[in-house]
């Protein structure tokens, strides 16, 4: 069995090795460590609980299904982010296509669900609307930087682009939000 | 540094992500430029507001069920032949083993073994066949009177000729109470 790290905790890759050997507790621990991060990412990209829960679940399923494809050139968490973002992009694309096909679906917002309506008013205000209008890549950079505190190099790895591109996406996102909010609320 | 250059450094300045030399240059410019100070404040407000947007926690029940849902979908995908998953090895418990289709067969085998053991014990240990007396019946332990009687001459007589029939006959004499007593712990 792999040795634990200096802090006594097994690393993600050690847990993944144990999972590959068929050990149930390693699976549980990997999910426990990263479930909230991935759910948060999915929620901020998809804006409702039902889709976020579904996407977070799919992210882990894909990761465990294809764990041998993980090259270990990045951290397991970064790999989860990559899978999660890809799934979110697909979902956003599908939503846009459905909205285009259905003339009554005039916005790209997610289907209503009770949980979101009751518990989350904040993403529905003007700022939420402003964030929603951001291009997907800018939004990804914003979420990864502001809410998940990643360095731009890491954001570049997750988004499969250069550090400079990640930084540019983030700066454009902030600038765009500023313009929208200034126009809407008379900020300086 | 001029106004058009400041814009590029606004966000890194607010996030303390600039080299000290740049920080000094931006600060000097801001001190003397009200327009750039206003821009800087606007961006700062945007960042503060964006950071304040929270994601509601879906609750303990959701999180406690979350691994199970992943496991279930994973198993479903495996059954469809997707991915490269190694099936998880769960610790084998008595409950899960008994939950399989094997237990009725095991129970039946146990009954037959016990019946066979009784029969053989009677054949080996007993001497000449004797008819049961009232005394031997009275001395039998409580609850054993419904068992095949060990001195049942008919069964012993037929044992050598047709043991299968004898076993069936002995099994037929087992009533529910005896089965419960024998296998109640299983």
CB contact under 8 A, A128 and B46: no
How many Å from the N-terminal Cα to the C-terminal Cα in chain A? Answer: 59
Do A59 and A26 lie in one domain? The reply is: yes
Which of A86, A120, A154 is where one domain is finished? A120
Do A116 and A136 lie in one domain? The reply is: no
Residue B129, pLDDT > 90, answer no
Residue B71, pLDDT > 90, answer yes
Question: Mean pLDDT over all residues of chain B?
Answer: 74
Question: Percent of chain A at pLDDT above 90?
Answer: 63
Which among A28, A66, A123 has CB closest to B67? A28
Residue A3 binned pLDDT confidence (cut-offs 50, 70, 90)? very low
User: Which chain A residues have a beta carbon less than 8 Å from that of B51?
Assistant: 146-147
Which of A99, A120, A141 is where one domain is finished? A120
Do A72 and A20 lie in one domain? The reply is: yes
Query: Residue A18 belongs to a domain with what CATH number?
Result: 1.10.1740.10
In a domain, A7, yes or no: no
User: For A161-173, what is the mean pLDDT?
Assistant: 95
Q: How far apart are CA A16 and CA B165, in angstroms?
A: 59
In a domain, A89, yes or no: yes
At A118 the pLDDT is 46
Selected for mutation to probe chain B from A51, A178, A180, A182 (highest B CB count within 10 Å) is: A178
Do A97 and A60 lie in one domain? The reply is: yes
In a domain, A9, yes or no: no
At B186 the pLDDT is 60
Do A28 and A113 lie in one domain? The reply is: yes
CB contact under 8 A, A115 and B56: yes
Do A26 and A97 lie in one domain? The reply is: yes
Give pTM, 2 decimals.
0.65
Do A21 and A114 lie in one domain? The reply is: yes
Residue numbers of the domain that contains A42: 14-120
Query: Residue A161 belongs to a domain with what CATH number?
Result: 1.10.10.10
Do A34 and A83 lie in one domain? The reply is: yes
In a domain, A152, yes or no: yes
In a domain, A75, yes or no: yes
Residue A115, pLDDT > 60, answer no
CB contact under 8 A, B49 and A181: yes
Residue A181 binned pLDDT confidence (cut-offs 50, 70, 90)? confident
Do A66 and A149 lie in one domain? The reply is: no
Do A91 and A152 lie in one domain? The reply is: no
Do A98 and A149 lie in one domain? The reply is: no
β-bridge mates for residue A23, sequence order: B89
At B111 the pLDDT is 84
CB contact under 8 A, B62 and A53: yes
ipTM metric:
0.80
**Of the listed ranges A26-40, B130-144, B162-176, the one predicted with least confidence:** B130-144
Q: How far apart are CA B20 and CA A18, in angstroms?
A: 46
CB contact under 8 A, A49 and B58: yes
At B68 the pLDDT is 95
For residue range B82-112, list pLDDT tens digits in order.
765 455 554 444 444 444 556 667 778 888 8
CB contact under 8 A, B53 and A127: yes
Q: How far apart are CA B174 and CA B171, in angstroms?
A: 5
At A96 the pLDDT is 82
Residue B141 binned pLDDT confidence (cut-offs 50, 70, 90)? very low
At B89 the pLDDT is 53
The chain B residues in contact with chain A (CB within 8 A) are 8, 11, 38-39, 41-43, 45-47, 49-56, 58, 62-63, 66-67, 69-71, 73-74, 77-78, 82-91
User: Which chain B residues have a beta carbon less than 8 Å from that of A35?
Assistant: 63, 66-67
In a domain, A69, yes or no: yes
CB contact under 8 A, A57 and B55: no
Ramachandran class of B140: left when φ > 0, alpha when ψ lies in -120 to 50, beta otherwise: beta
Residue A106, pLDDT > 60, answer no
Which of A100, A120, A140 is where one domain is finished? A120
In a domain, A3, yes or no: no
In a domain, A98, yes or no: yes
Number of domains within chain A: 2
More confidently predicted of A96 and A136: A136
Do A55 and A146 lie in one domain? The reply is: no
User: For A80-89, what is the mean pLDDT?
Assistant: 96
């Amino acid at each position: 069995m792999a040795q634990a790290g200096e802090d006594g905790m097994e690393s993600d890759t050690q847990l993944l090795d144990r999972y590959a050997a068929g050990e149930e507790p390693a699976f549980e621990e990997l999910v426990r460590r990263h479930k909230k991060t991935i759910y948060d990412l999915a929620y901020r990209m998809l804006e409702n609980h039902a889709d976020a829960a579904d996407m977070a679940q799919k992210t882990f399923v894909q990761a465990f299904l294809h764990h041998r494809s993980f090259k270990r050139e990045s951290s397991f968490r970064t790999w989860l982010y990559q899978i999660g973002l890809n799934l979110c992009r697909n979902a956003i694309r599908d939503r846009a296509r459905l909205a285009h096909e259905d003339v009554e679906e005039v916005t790209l917002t997610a289907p209503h669900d009770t949980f979101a309506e009751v518990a989350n008013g904040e993403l529905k205000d003007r700022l939420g609307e402003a964030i929603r209008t951001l291009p997907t890549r800018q939004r990804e950079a914003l979420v990864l930087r502001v809410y998940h505190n990643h360095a731009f190099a890491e954001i570049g790895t997750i988004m499969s682009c250069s550090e400079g591109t990640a930084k540019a996406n983030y700066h454009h996102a902030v600038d765009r939000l500023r313009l929208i909010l200034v126009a809407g609320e008379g900020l300086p | 540094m001029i106004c058009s250059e400041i814009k590029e450094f606004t966000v890194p300045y607010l996030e303390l992500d600039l080299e000290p030399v740049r920080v000094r240059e931006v600060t000097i410019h801001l001190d003397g430029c009200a327009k750039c100070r206003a821009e800087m404040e606007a961006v700062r407000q945007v960042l503060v507001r964006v950071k304040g947007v929270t994601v509601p926690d879906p609750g303990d029940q959701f999180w406690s069920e979350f691994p199970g849902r992943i496991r279930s979908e994973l198993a479903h995908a495996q059954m469809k032949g997707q991915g490269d998953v190694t099936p998880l090895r769960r610790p084998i418990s008595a409950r899960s083993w008994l939950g399989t289709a094997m237990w009725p067969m095991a129970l039946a085998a146990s009954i037959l073994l016990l019946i066979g053991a009784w029969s053989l014990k009677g054949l080996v240990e007993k001497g000449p066949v004797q008819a049961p007396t009232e005394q031997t019946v009275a001395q039998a332990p409580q609850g054993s009177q419904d068992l095949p009687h060990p001195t049942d001459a008919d069964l012993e007589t037929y044992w050598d000729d047709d043991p299968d029939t004898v076993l069936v006959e002995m099994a037929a004499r087992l009533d529910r109470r005896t089965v419960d007593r024998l296998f109640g712990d299983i």
